Amino acid sequence: MRSLKNSVLALLSTTIIAVTASNIRQPSGGFDSAKYDNGLFAPFEDLHALSEREFTTLEHPLFPNYGVRIKESDFCDGTVKSYTGYIDVEARHLFFYFFESRNNPDKDDVILWTDGGPGCSSALGLFMELGPCRVTSPDNSIFNPYSWNEKANVFFIDQPIGVGFSYADYEEYVGTTEDGAKDVAAFIAIFFEHFTKFKGRAFHMASGSYGGRYIPAYASYVYDQNPKLIAAGATPINLTSIMIGNGCSDQITMIPSYYEMQCKSETVPPVVDISTCVAIKRALPRCQEWLKKSCDDITDSISCAAAIAFCTNTIEVPFYATGMNPYDISKPCDGLITETLCYPITNTIASFLDKPDIRRTLGVDSDHFTGRNFSKCSDEVGARFRANLDSVFPSPYYIAALLERGIRTLIYVGANDWICNWIGNQNMLLNLDWTGADAFKASELKEWKVDGEVVGLTRSAGKLTFATIDGAGHLVPLDKPKVSLELVKRWLAAEDL
């Protein structure tokens, strides 16, 4: 979820040892491929041999500054094994959850999911959208029959540092997507090298909202890391696809689309008054020209920040004044957006994760989090990314480059979303510079169905697919869980929608 709280206030080894959370041995030293080449690296191999009581630390000589602490943490889904742990990057620690597939964990694909923000915890995606259970009260969760682990093994990662249960010992945080990508790519390589049954398994990277910025960069880093793994004698990651739901990948095409969504009947009748819409329409050319000149053609930090402020004030702020839900333009916001993100269940999830017994089960580092309430979205992380103008990076360049290398790309969007809407996403894809561009532009939007009922529109060409989901907003798996799961199952099976 893109943290609107941030937006509104501003105008996301060779040795294996068992250790407890209070006795963490940090990996150290430089790159030492000789240890790997000489057969001194011993993979852990068996996930089911992990302890429930303490962490096992995994290291790898190709990533000497990284370690992975992992333990069995059976919770949430009693039908499969689940695991939690930390990716330790010297004095920085990224928290993750891993759920085996309900279908066939030894053969099914692997999906990595991270929430957006920047600065929002993947606990939101896990406990209110696509995870194996849904939190219903601070003391309870229920089985989710439409979880994506129905057909895949699924990771949920709290990243970047400072999000959710992730933290830094000495305030060593990252402030750009590209810096965060290095940590995620290293973690994936270490995990696959240790648990060898996953080697060669199809791997998909997925996210939503600001994840439209994260995933193209993260997947690119995973892809570009593969030659280094091969050269060192390790197994490359079988990066198969990226999946972005209601993503904000390109600010240049997204900001102008806000006019379309709030002043025209693209999904629902106009929600902003006529005089305001006229003012927005008149400001659009200046907004677009300024963004392109100062944020896209070059990145002039002062002028680009001024352009963003101008566009935000003239185009976005009028929508917030309506009190409507920016994540679902068909309904009003439920509560103050700065407190609930329009979904009070997010506060319930935070209360659930504040429970001492839940934290013990998950293996949350108590030395750092005792006495601290769980934060669903971090203002500090969001502020760092905004200060670096991270959102203006042209992520479509990454998407096009991945397509050129055969990485399948799915962009799906709930039709009722405003903040990362279908018009902006479609315009981004129609403007994408890749060898399949002409074929994609020539393809017509057509209906796609689930159980014989029309559920949205889709178009595709080559490795690129775009789809809308009727009746859904920003959080497609929450609003349309059955359709969401069917979409993912067809995608994993490489079937047409």
Output the domain CATH number for residue 472: 3.40.50.1820
**Beta bridge partners of residue 66, listed in sequence order:** 89
Token couple for 290: 């300024």
What is the distance between the alpha carbons of residues 358 and 322, in angstroms, rounded to a whole number?
A: 38
- DSSP secondary structure letter of residue 175: -
pLDDT at residue number 6: 46
- DSSP secondary structure letter of residue 444: P
pLDDT at residue number 194: 83
When divided into structural domains, the chain yields a total of 1
**Catalytic center residues:** 209, 417, 474
Is residue 443, in this structure, part of any structural domain at all? Answer: yes
Q: Comparing C-alpha atoms, which of 418, 415, 429, 404 is closest to residue 471?
A: 415
The CB density around residue 380, as the number of other CB atoms within 10 Å, is 14
**Beta bridge partners of residue 96, listed in sequence order:** 85, 157
Is residue 189, in this structure, part of any structural domain at all? Answer: yes
Is residue 133, in this structure, part of any structural domain at all? Answer: yes
Is residue 187, in this structure, part of any structural domain at all? Answer: yes
Is residue 83, in this structure, part of any structural domain at all? Answer: yes
What is the distance between the alpha carbons of residues 280 and 82, in angstroms, rounded to a whole number?
A: 49
User: What pairing do the DSSP bridges indicate for beta strands 152-158 and 109-114?
Assistant: parallel
pLDDT at residue number 196: 84
401: domain range?
4-252+393-492
Is residue 173, in this structure, part of any structural domain at all? Answer: yes
Q: Comparing C-alpha atoms, which of 474, 473, 471, 477 is closest to residue 489?
A: 477
If phi over 0 gives left and psi between -120 and 50 gives alpha, with beta otherwise, what is residue 371?
Answer: left
Is residue 367, in this structure, part of any structural domain at all? Answer: no
- In which element (H, E) is residue 157 found? strand 152-158
pLDDT at residue number 151: 96
pLDDT in tens, the chain (497 residues): 654 444 443 432 222 223 333 233 333 333 345 545 555 567 777 788 888 889 988 888 888 888 889 999 988 888 999 999 998 988 889 999 999 999 999 999 999 999 999 999 999 999 999 999 999 999 999 999 999 999 999 999 999 999 999 999 987 888 999 999 988 998 898 888 888 889 999 999 999 999 999 999 999 999 999 999 999 888 999 999 999 999 999 988 999 899 999 999 999 999 999 999 999 999 999 999 999 999 988 889 999 999 999 999 999 999 999 999 999 999 999 999 999 999 999 999 999 999 999 999 999 998 889 889 999 999 999 999 999 999 999 899 999 999 999 999 999 999 999 999 999 999 999 999 999 999 999 999 999 999 999 999 999 999 999 999 999 999 999 999 999 999 999 999 999 99
What is the distance between the alpha carbons of residues 2 and 170, in angstroms, rounded to a whole number?
A: 27
Is residue 42, in this structure, part of any structural domain at all? Answer: yes
Q: Comparing C-alpha atoms, which of 118, 67, 138, 117 is closest to residue 96?
A: 67
What is the distance between the alpha carbons of residues 248 and 254, in angstroms, rounded to a whole number?
A: 7
